[in-house]
Amino acid sequence: MHSEKEKPTCPFCDGKNVELYSSFGTAQLVRQYYCQNCKTVFESIRWSGNASPVKTQGIQTVGVVGSGTMGSGIAQTFLQSGLSVTLYDIEDEILERNSRNIITNIEKMKVKGKITPEQAESANRNLKVSAKLTDLSCLDLIIEAVPEIKSLKIELFKKLDAVSDPETVLATNTSSFSVTEFAANLNHPQRMIGIHFFNPAPLMPLIEIVKSQLTDQTTIDRTRDLFLQIKKRPVICKDTPGFIVNRIARSFYNESLRIVDEGLATHEKVDRIMKKAGGFKMGPFELQDLIGIDINYNTTQSLFDNFQNESRFKPHYLQKEMILANRLGRKTGKGFYKYE
């Protein structure tokens, strides 16, 4: 038994008033300490095989701005969990192509037994698409997944602030920019939060919930409860450059690039070693191709800028050359590897 002094903090919200909890239905969560609030959320979840979880009372309708790889993955994540999703992009043709990909991926999940036929049918029914921002006006949550360009995101949130209900949670999927800076441009900054997914979003359980200097506790609670309800693993963190994972990951990518550049090993060998010996599901070069070499480079550049040009975050010129050659990874058919 832990003494009060020895008790750990809650792994989801850093709360200190924790107690032992052992009835959440996955092996990873058996007999751990959680705060009372997270424990209450766990007790509201009822799983039966692959059945859909009970929806959170706070957030049931979601808008996703940007239908690219990450935006489509985020939309699919919510759809598979029984929520209604409106997917926005600037052109109908883009929306048609990417929404079709989402439906195809959901069908594959059904065939593999990852979701039930009922879940797949519900997901198909609950997906809406639109090229009008005003169609997002009455949703509980709107999350952006547009390119990692600060000015683009700031302008987008100004528009979303104007068209959405003041109670709507506005979220950014940024991997490196300041959430506080985005919030400061809003009329209702308390509802702004960071929700950082990892690629591929439907499969990766970790979610970084980033609280800005202006985010209120209600927004934090609603967001955390949503992801606990859909069986993700939210971690609340401060608004610092790169947050937690991307700050750590810069060394993973940068050192791998240096090893290849110095001729110590090929990118294929580095990936193979990291998977075979390190236990990683994907090597650093496979991951760069999946994420997008341009996105990875821009994230590193952002950390380099925000940490006053610390050498450990300096982007590698090899990535820059690949961007100039339009070898961006899977999305262009060629990166460190070739794709059909």
Q: List active site positions.
A: 175, 196, 208, 246
Tokens 């979303």 label which residue?
160
| Range list of β-strands (E), the chain | 18-21, 32-35, 61-65, 84-88, 127-130, 141-144, 169-172, 192-196, 206-211, 233-238
Distance separating alpha carbons of residues 66 and 106, to the nearest angstrom: 19
> How would DSSP label each residue in 270-311?
HHHHHHHTT--SS-HHHHHHHH-HHHHHHHHHHHHHHTTT-G
How deeply is 204 buried, as exposed, middle or buried, from its count of CB atoms within 10 A (0-12, 13-18, 19+)? Answer: middle
Distance CA 192, CA 189 (A): 6
Per DSSP, which regions of 12-51 are E strands?
18-21, 32-35
Cβ atoms of 335 and 327 within 8 Å: the answer is yes
Q: What angle do CA 69, 73, 78 make, to 5 degrees?
A: 155
How many Cβ atoms sit within 10 Å of the Cβ of residue 199? Answer: 16
CA 287 – CA 112 distance, rounded (Å)? 24
Place of tokens 């049931």: 60
CA distance 301 to 289: 17
Question: How far is 212 from 196, CA to CA, in rounded Å?
Answer: 13
| Pairing between β-strand 206-211 and β-strand 233-238 as defined by DSSP bridges | parallel
